[in-house]
Amino acid sequence: MNVSEIEFGTLWTYSPWGTTEEEFRSKTMKSNLKTDAIVTEDRISMSEYVARGIKKDLEKLPFAHFFAINPVLVPMPSSSLTKTDTLWVPLNLANALVKNGLGIKVSQCLQRSKPIRKSHAGPASERPKALEHYESMSVQKELSDPAEILLIDDFITRGATSIAAANRLADAYPNANIRVLVVMKTITNPANFKKIYDPCIGKIEYSNGECFNDCIE
Amino acid sequence: MVAEPEFKSISVEELLGRPLNDVEKKIKVDTLFVEGSLKIPLPCPKVSIIGSRKASPQGIENAQRIAKTLIENQVIIVSGLAEGIDTAGHKTAIRMNGKTIAVLGTPLNKTFPAKNFELQQEIMKNHLAVSQFPVGYPTRPKDFVIRNRTMALISDASVIVEAGKSSGSLHQGWETLRLGRPLFIWESVVNNKELDWPKEMMEYGAMELSDPFDILEVLPTRFEMIDVFQ
């Protein structure tokens, strides 16, 4: 993997172990996002809700510049194999963003060619490493030399999936500027949780086989 | 002539208290018949405990342990009123003063298996029984598979406690994965070398379960979402 650092942005935070009301609400929002539930009185899906919210707040969001040069949006593939008609939340998010004028188009060029155990479950030491993710992904080269690629994902913890995906895309499109936008960042230590709506940008770094990000935790 | 009973009919959306997304719409039925005292729309969260009719003593014990943990954390137990694991799930919920939902493969005025008649009556009185089949509908074996889809649809997560190669629980497992909801398979089933399906389901996103508390981590809470973009 040649790319050892990528810029990323997140919109909300989620606290799996917290006990405050805001943290319990973050768990409900996480569940709604994971199932792309219909969530508002307008009967819109969570992915549409996120896209409309980003559009509405774009000027004040720290990752506004991600959308300045009309990126191609690439949804993050699931860590698992998927059957036809299976819910794919990052794809729904990417489609909703483009529908709201954020990004020029969606490309499903990044695929999971073999399954990998789920990254959010279990302690950090048991989660798949970036290299495992990288070796399980492939790119179908359907884009012609894109200048800007924005990876779209629903959840991030350390960023192993993101850095692996960015590397796969960089292999296929060496001239592209690749960034990552993730809706929800997992805050594993409740002491570091501030509130659900907590947009930030930062860098995911890959060093000695491990991933770290400087956003919040 | 004896008049046939009438049961309240509602939509899946009314039962859940929310509209359905596109994937959910593909497996929903137009009408559900319901009987019981459980509040509708159903409070969250709800977890299916499912598995073999001919369950082993250890399987029954595992089902009871999982149900106990869930009930202690205000989770509603969903199951299909079948013998074995289903019955263990329902009965544990009732014994612990929790709540349970039976999703039937028969109309509400029929019981299968017949030995669960009293259990069904208790659920129809103090909990909730749900069926997509109207009174008078002639039950076929495949109806029990069809209702598994509905059971997956109304559950926030599903747990396969014990199941063989051709168990109806596998249908619910695949529907759960398609819906993007958490599917847990008890560890002894995952490690059973005679079974291929657990490994396949794990490749498609199912998770091994050895501690029932792990289920709680993936469930929505009773606190509703607020509009964070205001």
Q: Is the peptide bond prior to B182 cis by the omega test (within 30 degrees of 0)?
A: no
Q: Are A27 and B224 a contacting pair at CB < 8 A? A: no
A71 vs B202: CA distance, rounded Å: 34
pLDDT in tens, A17-67: 889 999 999 999 999 999 999 887 778 999 999 999 999 999 999 999 999
Helix (H, G, I), strand (E, B) or coil at B35: strand
**pLDDT above 50 for A217:** no
- pLDDT higher than 90, residue B178: yes
* Mean pLDDT to the nearest integer, A132-153: 93
Smallest CA–CA distance from B44 into chain A, residue: A28
Question: How long is chain B?
Answer: 230
Question: In whole angstroms, what is the distance from residue A125 CA to residue A128 CA?
Answer: 8
Query: What pTM, to 2 d.p., does this model score?
Result: 0.88
Helix axes A46-57, A89-99, angle to 10 degrees: 40
Q: Which is more confidently placed, B161 or A28?
A: B161
Say what the pLDDT of residue A96 is: 98
Average pLDDT over residues B146-152: 95
Domains of chain B (ranges, CATH numbers): 8-12+20-218 (3.40.50.450)
Chain B residues near residue A117 by CB distance under 8 angstroms: 202
- Which of B225, B226, B230 is the best mutation test for A, with the most CBs of A within 10 A? B225
For position B182, what pLDDT does the model report?
Answer: 95
Nearest residue to A173 via CA among A83, A71, A97, A77: A71
Which domains are assigned to chain A?
5-213 (3.40.50)
Distance CA B181, CA A84 (A): 15
Query: In A, what residues contact B, Cβ < 8 A?
Result: 12, 16, 21, 24-25, 27-29, 31-32, 34-40, 43, 45, 49, 52-53, 56-57, 78-83, 85-87, 89, 115, 117-118, 121, 196-197
For residue B32, the one-letter residue type is L
pLDDT band of residue B172 (cuts 50, 70, 90) is very high
Residues whose CB is less than 8 angstroms from the CB of residue A8 and which lie 6 or more positions away in sequence, other chains included: A156, A159, A162, A179, A180, A181, A182, A201, A202, A203, A204, A213, A215
pLDDT tens string A77-98? 998 888 888 899 999 999 999 9
| Mean pLDDT to the nearest integer, A167-188 | 95
Question: What is the b/e burial string over A51-74, where b = at least 16 CB atoms within 10 angstroms of the residue's CB?
Answer: bbbbbeebeebebbebbeebbbbb
Contacts of A207 (CB under 8 A, 6+ apart): A4
Residue B203: closest CA among B181, B174, B164, B171 = B174
Report the C-alpha gap between B3 and B86 in whole angstroms: 31
pLDDT digits (tens, 9 = 90+) for A184-206: 999 989 999 999 999 999 999 99
pLDDT at A124 over 70: no
Centre a 10 Å sphere on the Cβ of residue A33 and count the other Cβ atoms it contains: 24
> What mean pLDDT value characterizes chain A?
91
Chain A contact present for B205, CB below 8 A: yes
Q: Is the pLDDT of residue B230 over 90?
A: no
Q: Which of A31, A80, A197 sits opposite B228 (nearest CB)?
A: A197
Q: State whether A21 and B223 contact (CB < 8 Å).
A: yes
φ, ψ for residue B170, nearest 5 deg? -65, -35
